[in-house]
Amino acid sequence: MGEKAKDRVDYAIFGRPCFGERASGDAGVIARRDGEVFLAIIDVLGHGAEAHALAVRIEEFLQDVWSRDIVATLLRLHKELKGTRGAVAGFALLEIETGELRFVGVGNTTVRRFGSRQQQFYSSEGIIGSMMSTPHEQRLTLAAGDAVVLHTDGIGEEFRLDNYPFAAFHRPRSAARSIVHRFGNTYDDVTCMVLRYY
């Protein structure tokens, strides 16, 4: 992959545990390979040390097994989490050269596009590792300057572009922190991931 492809994306992740906890049950994975970027936002059921331990396990698992077939990756995680407390998650895969973004998710994580258009992906119902509906892949093509925001349900419903109009323009590190600080629920784990496409 040439320097041009490397320079077309910028991304960051920021999170914090809920009030009274020292570790979060949320997790995020950002990985690159062969001109593609894999993004995963994960929210383990519950809070505290046990939820955190499972979140770390999921991170490590996904770093090892993710593939461009994100539905297959999700199904592998579902099998891996059988017998655990379970989790909800959203996976996205960006093909850097074309701007094609694919998404699959289960549960109440959120993935939104800001910029040339505002769009939101929708997840299937259920819990990964327990009962879940058949996951379906969705696709769109990003335009230069678009931002993709992934977050767990610790971000309140009041997070909308009209309440934070600079979400589509701030650098990912600043945007992720601002979204968590401004819209995060104190009594829930919160994680936000932002990707900008150039």
Helix axes 70-80, 48-65, angle to 10 degrees: 140
pLDDT at residue 156 in the model: 82
**Residue 160 has which token pair?**
């909308």
- pLDDT tops 90 at residue 151: yes
Phi and psi at 8, nearest 5°, equal -85, -5
Q: Are 187 and 23 in contact (CB under 8 A)?
A: no
Q: Are 10 and 195 in contact (CB under 8 A)?
A: yes
Instruction: Encode pLDDT of 110-124 as tens digits.
Output: 899 988 888 889 899
Could you tell me the residue ranges of all domains in the chain? 13-197
d(CA 175, CA 180): 9
Instruction: Encode pLDDT of 93-111 as tens digits.
Output: 999 999 999 999 999 998 9
- pLDDT tops 80 at residue 4: no
- Per cent of the chain over pLDDT 70 is 95
**Residue 178 has which token pair?**
């601002």
Instruction: Encode pLDDT of 65-93 as tens digits.
Output: 999 999 999 999 999 999 999 999 999 99
pLDDT at residue 168 in the model: 65
Average pLDDT score over the chain: 92
The pTM for the full model equals 0.92
Q: Are 27 and 55 in contact (CB under 8 A)?
A: yes
d(CA 54, CA 6): 32
E strand or H helix at 80: helix 70-80
- pLDDT tops 90 at residue 162: no
Which CATH class, in words, describes the domain spanning 13-197? alpha beta
Instruction: Encode pLDDT of 164-186 as tens digits.
Output: 776 667 899 999 999 999 999 99
Instruction: Encode pLDDT of 6-17 as tens digits.
Output: 579 999 999 999
Instruction: Encode pLDDT of 39-65 as tens digits.
Output: 999 999 999 999 999 999 999 999 999
Q: Which residues of 111-125 are buried (b: 16+ CB within 10 A; e: fewer)?
A: bbbbbeeeeebebee
pLDDT at residue 159 in the model: 84
Q: Are 96 and 113 in contact (CB under 8 A)?
A: no
Q: Which residue has the higher pLDDT, 178 or 156?
A: 178
